[in-house]
Structure 1
Protein backbone atom coordinates (compact mmCIF):
# COMPACT_ATOMS: atom_id res chain seq x y z
CA UNK A 1 0.00 0.00 0.00
CA UNK A 2 1.24 3.45 -0.89
CA UNK A 3 0.91 5.45 2.30
CA UNK A 4 2.17 8.84 3.41
CA UNK A 5 3.44 9.30 6.92
CA UNK A 6 1.50 11.01 9.65
CA UNK A 7 4.13 13.76 9.55
CA UNK A 8 3.12 14.62 5.98
CA UNK A 9 -0.54 14.66 6.95
CA UNK A 10 0.28 16.99 9.83
CA UNK A 11 2.34 19.19 7.49
CA UNK A 12 -0.83 19.82 5.46
CA UNK A 13 -2.61 20.80 8.67
CA UNK A 14 0.24 23.14 9.72
CA UNK A 15 0.46 24.78 6.29
CA UNK A 16 -3.31 25.08 6.16
CA UNK A 17 -3.28 26.91 9.48
CA UNK A 18 -0.43 29.14 8.35
CA UNK A 19 -2.23 29.97 5.10
CA UNK A 20 -5.08 31.44 7.14
CA UNK A 21 -2.49 33.78 8.68
CA UNK A 22 -0.52 34.55 5.52
CA UNK A 23 2.17 37.20 5.93
CA UNK A 24 1.91 36.99 9.74
CA UNK A 25 4.74 35.74 11.90
CA UNK A 26 3.63 32.70 13.90
CA UNK A 27 5.51 30.55 16.40
CA UNK A 28 5.67 26.80 16.79
CA UNK A 29 3.85 26.92 20.17
CA UNK A 30 1.13 29.09 18.63
CA UNK A 31 0.58 26.67 15.73
CA UNK A 32 0.67 23.69 18.09
CA UNK A 33 -2.04 25.28 20.21
CA UNK A 34 -4.19 26.25 17.22
CA UNK A 35 -3.96 22.84 15.54
CA UNK A 36 -3.87 20.60 18.60
CA UNK A 37 -0.68 18.93 17.37
CA UNK A 38 2.23 18.19 19.72
CA UNK A 39 4.81 20.99 19.87
CA UNK A 40 7.83 18.77 19.00
CA UNK A 41 6.00 17.53 15.90
CA UNK A 42 5.08 21.05 14.81
CA UNK A 43 8.65 22.24 15.38
CA UNK A 44 10.00 19.39 13.25
CA UNK A 45 7.52 20.09 10.45
CA UNK A 46 8.28 23.81 10.48
CA UNK A 47 11.99 23.07 10.22
CA UNK A 48 11.49 20.75 7.24
CA UNK A 49 9.13 23.15 5.47
CA UNK A 50 11.46 26.10 5.95
CA UNK A 51 14.49 24.13 4.67
CA UNK A 52 12.55 23.45 1.48
CA UNK A 53 11.43 27.06 1.10
CA UNK A 54 7.70 26.56 1.57
CA UNK A 55 7.82 28.89 4.58
CA UNK A 56 10.41 31.31 5.93
CA UNK A 57 12.09 31.02 9.31
CA UNK A 58 12.74 34.29 11.16
CA UNK A 59 15.31 34.31 13.97
CA UNK A 60 15.63 36.55 16.99
CA UNK A 61 13.20 38.39 19.19
CA UNK A 62 9.82 38.42 17.50
CA UNK A 63 10.95 35.55 15.30
CA UNK A 64 8.98 32.56 14.16
CA UNK A 65 7.74 31.42 10.81
CA UNK A 66 5.93 33.17 8.00
CA UNK A 67 4.18 32.00 4.86
CA UNK A 68 4.47 34.23 1.81
CA UNK A 69 2.81 31.83 -0.61
CA UNK A 70 -0.85 31.50 -1.42
CA UNK A 71 -2.37 28.13 -0.57
CA UNK A 72 -3.25 27.79 -4.25
CA UNK A 73 0.43 27.94 -5.23
CA UNK A 74 1.56 25.10 -2.92
CA UNK A 75 0.88 21.63 -4.29
CA UNK A 76 0.47 18.41 -2.37
CA UNK A 77 3.56 17.21 -4.25
CA UNK A 78 5.53 20.16 -2.80
CA UNK A 79 4.46 19.21 0.72
CA UNK A 80 5.19 15.51 0.29
CA UNK A 81 8.64 16.21 -1.15
CA UNK A 82 9.43 18.61 1.70
CA UNK A 83 8.62 16.00 4.32
CA UNK A 84 9.20 12.62 2.65
CA UNK A 85 11.71 13.39 -0.10
CA UNK A 86 11.23 12.44 -3.76
CA UNK A 87 7.90 10.88 -4.67
CA UNK A 88 8.51 7.23 -5.49
CA UNK A 89 6.34 4.15 -5.18
CA UNK A 90 9.30 1.80 -5.31
CA UNK A 91 13.01 2.04 -4.58
CA UNK A 92 13.91 1.22 -8.18
CA UNK A 93 13.37 4.59 -9.81
CA UNK A 94 15.74 6.88 -11.63
CA UNK A 95 18.23 8.37 -9.24
CA UNK A 96 17.53 5.92 -6.41
CA UNK A 97 20.57 5.36 -4.23
CA UNK A 98 19.62 2.02 -2.68
CA UNK A 99 19.02 -0.26 -5.63
CA UNK A 100 18.08 -3.86 -5.05
CA UNK A 101 20.38 -6.81 -5.59
CA UNK A 102 18.56 -8.07 -8.72
CA UNK A 103 18.31 -4.72 -10.47
CA UNK A 104 20.40 -5.75 -13.48
CA UNK A 105 18.13 -8.76 -14.20
CA UNK A 106 14.78 -7.19 -13.35
CA UNK A 107 12.24 -7.07 -16.22
CA UNK A 108 10.43 -4.17 -14.49
CA UNK A 109 13.56 -2.01 -14.30
CA UNK A 110 12.72 1.45 -15.53
CA UNK A 111 9.01 0.74 -15.96
CA UNK A 112 8.09 1.98 -12.47
CA UNK A 113 9.28 5.43 -13.53
CA UNK A 114 6.16 5.74 -15.70
CA UNK A 115 3.90 5.00 -12.73
CA UNK A 116 5.86 7.29 -10.42
CA UNK A 117 5.62 10.11 -12.95
CA UNK A 118 1.83 9.72 -13.25
CA UNK A 119 1.43 9.77 -9.47
CA UNK A 120 3.75 12.79 -9.10
CA UNK A 121 1.89 14.67 -11.84
CA UNK A 122 -1.46 13.93 -10.20
CA UNK A 123 -0.18 15.21 -6.84
CA UNK A 124 1.02 18.38 -8.56
CA UNK A 125 -2.56 19.15 -9.62
CA UNK A 126 -3.92 19.22 -6.06
CA UNK A 127 -3.10 22.35 -4.08
CA UNK A 128 -3.12 23.19 -0.40
CA UNK A 129 -6.12 25.40 -1.17
CA UNK A 130 -7.96 22.32 -2.47
CA UNK A 131 -7.10 20.43 0.70
CA UNK A 132 -8.30 23.11 3.11
CA UNK A 133 -11.41 24.12 1.18
CA UNK A 134 -13.85 22.19 3.34
CA UNK A 135 -16.25 25.00 4.10
CA UNK A 136 -18.97 23.66 1.80
CA UNK A 137 -18.66 20.19 3.30
CA UNK A 138 -20.28 21.25 6.55
CA UNK A 139 -23.11 23.40 5.25
CA UNK A 140 -26.41 21.82 6.18
CA UNK A 141 -29.41 22.54 4.04
CA UNK A 142 -31.53 24.56 6.50
CA UNK A 143 -34.84 23.49 4.94
CA UNK A 144 -33.96 19.80 5.26
CA UNK A 145 -32.75 20.35 8.79
CA UNK A 146 -35.94 22.20 9.78
CA UNK A 147 -38.19 19.63 8.09
CA UNK A 148 -36.56 16.70 9.81
CA UNK A 149 -36.50 18.18 13.30
CA UNK A 150 -39.35 17.21 15.56
CA UNK A 151 -40.38 19.38 18.44
CA UNK A 152 -41.09 17.45 21.58
CA UNK A 153 -43.36 18.97 24.21
Structure 2
Protein backbone atom coordinates (compact mmCIF):
# COMPACT_ATOMS: atom_id res chain seq x y z
CA UNK A 1 0.00 0.00 0.00
CA UNK A 2 2.81 2.37 0.85
CA UNK A 3 4.40 1.70 -2.56
CA UNK A 4 1.26 2.80 -4.43
CA UNK A 5 0.94 5.97 -2.36
CA UNK A 6 4.61 6.78 -2.82
CA UNK A 7 4.12 6.64 -6.62
CA UNK A 8 0.93 8.70 -6.65
CA UNK A 9 2.39 11.72 -4.88
CA UNK A 10 5.31 12.30 -7.32
CA UNK A 11 3.01 11.63 -10.27
CA UNK A 12 0.55 14.23 -9.00
CA UNK A 13 3.38 16.74 -8.61
CA UNK A 14 4.60 16.09 -12.18
CA UNK A 15 1.06 16.49 -13.54
CA UNK A 16 0.56 19.74 -11.62
CA UNK A 17 3.87 21.14 -12.88
CA UNK A 18 3.02 20.13 -16.45
CA UNK A 19 -0.34 21.88 -16.21
CA UNK A 20 1.35 24.97 -14.80
CA UNK A 21 3.94 25.03 -17.60
CA UNK A 22 1.25 24.64 -20.27
CA UNK A 23 -0.71 27.51 -18.73
CA UNK A 24 2.36 29.74 -18.58
CA UNK A 25 3.36 28.86 -22.15
CA UNK A 26 -0.11 29.61 -23.49
CA UNK A 27 -0.13 32.97 -21.72
CA UNK A 28 3.19 33.93 -23.26
CA UNK A 29 2.05 33.07 -26.79
CA UNK A 30 0.37 36.00 -28.51
CA UNK A 31 -3.27 35.27 -29.29
CA UNK A 32 -3.78 34.12 -32.87
CA UNK A 33 -5.47 36.76 -34.97
CA UNK A 34 -8.66 35.83 -36.76
CA UNK A 35 -8.69 35.59 -40.53
CA UNK A 36 -10.84 38.72 -40.49
CA UNK A 37 -8.07 40.63 -38.69
CA UNK A 38 -5.33 39.17 -40.90
CA UNK A 39 -7.25 40.27 -44.01
CA UNK A 40 -7.27 43.83 -42.70
CA UNK A 41 -10.83 44.11 -41.42
CA UNK A 42 -14.02 45.25 -43.05
CA UNK A 43 -12.50 47.94 -45.29
CA UNK A 44 -9.99 45.56 -46.86
CA UNK A 45 -12.68 42.90 -47.24
CA UNK A 46 -15.05 45.41 -48.85
CA UNK A 47 -12.33 46.38 -51.35
CA UNK A 48 -11.86 42.73 -52.38
CA UNK A 49 -15.63 42.22 -52.60
CA UNK A 50 -15.99 45.36 -54.74
CA UNK A 51 -13.32 44.19 -57.20
CA UNK A 52 -14.65 40.61 -57.18
CA UNK A 53 -18.26 41.64 -57.78
CA UNK A 54 -17.36 43.91 -60.69
CA UNK A 55 -15.11 41.20 -62.18
CA UNK A 56 -17.94 38.65 -62.03
CA UNK A 57 -20.17 40.91 -64.12
CA UNK A 58 -17.49 40.97 -66.85
CA UNK A 59 -16.50 37.29 -66.57
CA UNK A 60 -17.47 35.49 -69.83
CA UNK A 61 -18.35 32.23 -68.06
CA UNK A 62 -20.49 33.55 -65.20
CA UNK A 63 -21.18 37.19 -66.09
CA UNK A 64 -23.27 39.16 -68.55
CA UNK A 65 -22.28 36.96 -71.52
CA UNK A 66 -22.61 33.63 -69.69
CA UNK A 67 -24.17 30.63 -71.43
CA UNK A 68 -26.20 30.19 -68.23
CA UNK A 69 -29.28 32.29 -69.01
CA UNK A 70 -30.06 32.86 -65.32
CA UNK A 71 -26.60 34.25 -64.59
CA UNK A 72 -26.62 36.27 -67.82
CA UNK A 73 -29.99 37.79 -66.92
CA UNK A 74 -28.90 38.66 -63.38
CA UNK A 75 -25.73 40.33 -64.62
CA UNK A 76 -27.59 42.41 -67.23
CA UNK A 77 -31.02 43.17 -65.73
CA UNK A 78 -30.30 43.32 -61.99
CA UNK A 79 -27.18 45.47 -61.81
CA UNK A 80 -29.11 48.07 -59.83
CA UNK A 81 -28.98 45.50 -57.01
CA UNK A 82 -25.18 45.13 -57.21
CA UNK A 83 -24.34 47.71 -54.50
CA UNK A 84 -26.61 45.87 -52.05
CA UNK A 85 -25.13 42.54 -53.08
CA UNK A 86 -21.63 43.90 -52.44
CA UNK A 87 -22.78 44.93 -48.97
CA UNK A 88 -24.26 41.46 -48.31
CA UNK A 89 -21.10 39.74 -49.59
CA UNK A 90 -18.96 41.94 -47.34
CA UNK A 91 -21.08 40.97 -44.33
CA UNK A 92 -20.87 37.29 -45.31
CA UNK A 93 -17.08 37.32 -45.69
CA UNK A 94 -16.71 39.30 -42.48
CA UNK A 95 -18.77 36.76 -40.55
CA UNK A 96 -17.18 33.59 -41.94
CA UNK A 97 -13.68 34.97 -41.32
CA UNK A 98 -14.36 35.68 -37.65
CA UNK A 99 -15.26 39.35 -37.83
CA UNK A 100 -17.79 41.25 -35.73
CA UNK A 101 -20.50 41.48 -38.38
CA UNK A 102 -23.43 39.14 -38.87
CA UNK A 103 -24.82 38.10 -42.23
CA UNK A 104 -28.57 37.50 -42.44
CA UNK A 105 -29.86 35.54 -45.40
CA UNK A 106 -32.54 37.23 -47.48
CA UNK A 107 -33.94 33.77 -48.27
CA UNK A 108 -33.42 31.53 -45.22
CA UNK A 109 -32.37 28.01 -46.06
CA UNK A 110 -31.09 24.91 -44.33
CA UNK A 111 -28.27 26.90 -42.71
CA UNK A 112 -28.36 30.40 -41.29
CA UNK A 113 -26.41 31.55 -44.35
CA UNK A 114 -29.21 30.39 -46.67
CA UNK A 115 -26.88 30.09 -49.64
CA UNK A 116 -28.79 27.28 -51.34
CA UNK A 117 -31.98 29.36 -51.54
CA UNK A 118 -30.24 32.58 -52.52
CA UNK A 119 -28.58 30.83 -55.47
CA UNK A 120 -31.15 28.16 -56.44
CA UNK A 121 -32.79 30.18 -59.22
CA UNK A 122 -29.39 30.94 -60.77
CA UNK A 123 -28.87 27.23 -61.57
CA UNK A 124 -25.11 27.50 -60.99
CA UNK A 125 -23.19 24.46 -62.20
CA UNK A 126 -20.17 23.07 -60.35
CA UNK A 127 -17.97 24.36 -63.20
CA UNK A 128 -19.48 27.84 -62.92
CA UNK A 129 -18.92 27.76 -59.17
CA UNK A 130 -15.28 26.88 -59.83
CA UNK A 131 -14.98 29.87 -62.18
CA UNK A 132 -16.44 32.15 -59.50
CA UNK A 133 -13.86 30.75 -57.07
CA UNK A 134 -11.11 31.41 -59.62
CA UNK A 135 -12.36 34.99 -60.00
CA UNK A 136 -12.28 35.36 -56.23
CA UNK A 137 -8.69 34.14 -56.28
CA UNK A 138 -7.80 36.75 -58.90
CA UNK A 139 -9.44 39.46 -56.78
CA UNK A 140 -7.49 38.32 -53.72
CA UNK A 141 -4.31 38.50 -55.82
CA UNK A 142 -5.27 41.98 -57.04
CA UNK A 143 -5.58 43.07 -53.39
CA UNK A 144 -2.22 41.43 -52.60
CA UNK A 145 -3.71 39.11 -49.98
CA UNK A 146 -0.91 36.83 -48.69
CA UNK A 147 -0.98 33.17 -49.83
CA UNK A 148 -1.96 31.74 -46.43
CA UNK A 149 -4.97 34.03 -46.04
CA UNK A 150 -5.90 33.61 -49.70
CA UNK A 151 -5.99 29.84 -49.21
CA UNK A 152 -8.15 30.19 -46.11
CA UNK A 153 -10.63 32.47 -47.89
CA UNK A 154 -10.86 30.12 -50.88
CA UNK A 155 -11.33 27.12 -48.57
CA UNK A 156 -14.15 28.91 -46.75
CA UNK A 157 -15.74 29.73 -50.11
CA UNK A 158 -15.33 26.17 -51.44
CA UNK A 159 -17.00 24.77 -48.32
CA UNK A 160 -20.31 26.12 -49.66
CA UNK A 161 -20.12 24.65 -53.17
CA UNK A 162 -22.92 22.13 -52.61
CA UNK A 163 -25.24 24.82 -51.26
CA UNK A 164 -24.57 27.26 -54.10
CA UNK A 165 -24.96 24.59 -56.80
CA UNK A 166 -28.09 23.03 -55.24
CA UNK A 167 -30.31 24.50 -57.98
CA UNK A 168 -28.24 23.19 -60.87
CA UNK A 169 -30.20 20.99 -63.25
CA UNK A 170 -27.99 18.33 -64.81
Superposition TM-score, scaled by structure 2 size: 0.21
Structure number with greater Rg is 2
Q: Which structure has more helix as a fraction of its residues? A: 2
Superposition TM-score, scaled by structure 1 size: 0.23
